[in-house]
Homo-oligomer: A and B are copies of this chain.
Amino acid sequence: MNDGRDAGSAAKRPPAGRTRRRGAPVTMQDIAQATGLSQSTVSRILNRSPTVVPIAESTRERVLAAAKELGYRPNPLARGLRGASTMLLGVIVRDITDVFFAGAIEAATVEASRRGYNLVLGHAHARADEAIALWGVLEARHCDAILLLGDMRDQPRLIEDLAGDSLPVVALWQGSTDMDIPSVTVDNRAGIRAVLDHLTGLGHRRIAFVGGRLLGDIKEREEAYLDYLTELGMPPHEGDVQHGLNEPAAGAAALDLLLDRPDPPTAVVASTDVLALGLLHAAHERGLRVPEQLSITGFDDIALAAYSVPALTTVRMPVREMVEKAVQMALDEIGRSDELEPSAEQPPPMLQPSLVVRDSTGRASA
């Protein structure tokens, strides 16, 4: 039974029944040796290769038994070397702690596994200036395609590496930029318009805006806000637009800045649900009643938005549909990878969000 693979020293290994730990991985070669067959035969059986060559039923069973017995696990590296697809979908997200992206990742996981793919998660880590390790995450993983979640424009290295790469990349929520990366976007303008229609319909005339860093979708939302109010002839007052990180704390701080003035706004549009939650909290801290004294809206409709106090009026992001579309685009591109001509350039799909009215908005107070 000594197959020559033992290390030189005959140190007896722990006699535990189940030799876990450091059993040199079982290879096809081992199975071949155990069954007296050749490694290639084993390979064919283990992959039920498409009848190119017939295999005796008895042999098949013998091999399968041995494989199970020895606890064989295919080595994906070796498999990948031969050019097989890795069935991996890389996902780069700029901030995992952003609950919105967490939801998107969930959606991507579901959609990917429906197609037999698994997810590899890279992490842009918004606050790390040196995002160099990034490209390692992707390329280092040899995925079949890559999904980009969020606007990565501030990570030029990443974009560059990605562009130089030979595999399909699809971006989500990167805002309508002119980067030549196929993308799936949402109609941010329509979302903001819906929110502002709703608020003005409730009689609000002084509507403030709280945004995150001017990236991607956030930027679009702010621009849409400005355009809308300008067109209506009631542009925001000075100080009616606040910026900060996309965190509840920033929202809370912004609210104080907005309200610690004479003649404060009667409604605040947040560029994000997370910010809106911070606004709600700060309003409560000040003893302000929402929506009686102040209306607040969000954007995204994260899971918690329906359970805030009070429940948040927001814009529903069609996350599932967008991710579905993006995964499909990426995988289609893989399929097309053999052909020479680049796929016909189509306008990036843009999906429609929808207003969800809950309890954080009401008629404008005197």
Closest to A341 in B: B14
Stretch at the interface among A35-43, A46-54, A233-241, A299-307: A299-307
How many copies of the chain does the oligomer comprise?
A: 2
Interface residue A153 (Cβ < 8 Å from any Cβ of B)? no
Report which of B106, B252, B311 forms a contact with A307, defined as CB distance below 8 A: B252
Inter-subunit contact B122/A118 (CB<8 Å): yes
CA distance A21 to B342 in the complex (A): 8
Please count how many residues in chain A sit with their CB below 8 Å of the partner chain's CB atoms: 72
Closest to A109 in B: B123
Which of A77, A105, A142 counts the most chain B CB atoms within 10 A? Answer: A77
Q: Which residues of B contact A307 (CB under 8 A)?
A: 248-249, 251-252, 277-278, 281
Inter-subunit contact A106/B97 (CB<8 Å): yes
How far does the Cβ of A91 sit from chain B's closest Cβ, in whole Å?
A: 8
Q: Which of A94-149 contact B (CB under 8 A)?
A: 96-97, 99, 102-103, 105-106, 109-110, 113, 116, 118-123, 125, 133, 136-137, 139-142
Q: Which residues of B contact A133 (CB under 8 A)?
A: 113, 116, 118
Stretch at the interface among A160-168, A189-197, A201-209, A264-272: A160-168
Q: Which residues of B contact A13 (CB under 8 A)?
A: 340
CA distance A116 to B132 in the complex (A): 11
Q: Which of A7-36 contact B (CB under 8 A)?
A: 11, 13-14, 18, 20-25
How far does the Cβ of A15 sit from chain B's closest Cβ, in whole Å?
A: 12
Inter-subunit contact B121/A306 (CB<8 Å): no
Interface string of A238-263 (1 = CB under 8 A from B): 00000000011101100000000000
Inter-subunit contact A78/B81 (CB<8 Å): yes
Inter-subunit contact A102/B96 (CB<8 Å): yes
Inter-subunit contact B76/A142 (CB<8 Å): yes
Inter-subunit contact B96/A337 (CB<8 Å): no
How far does the Cβ of A145 sit from chain B's closest Cβ, in whole Å?
A: 13
Q: Which residues of B contact A102 (CB under 8 A)?
A: 96-97, 99, 102
**9 shortest interchain CB distances as A-B pairs:** A248-B307, A121-B121, A309-B309, A281-B307, A77-B80, A284-B309, A102-B102, A109-B123, A97-B106
The contact sample of 19 A-B pairs, CB cut-off 8 A, is A13-B340, A20-B166, A22-B337, A73-B164, A76-B140, A76-B141, A81-B81, A96-B109, A99-B102, A105-B121, A106-B123, A109-B123, A113-B125, A116-B133, A120-B121, A248-B304, A277-B307, A281-B307, A309-B309
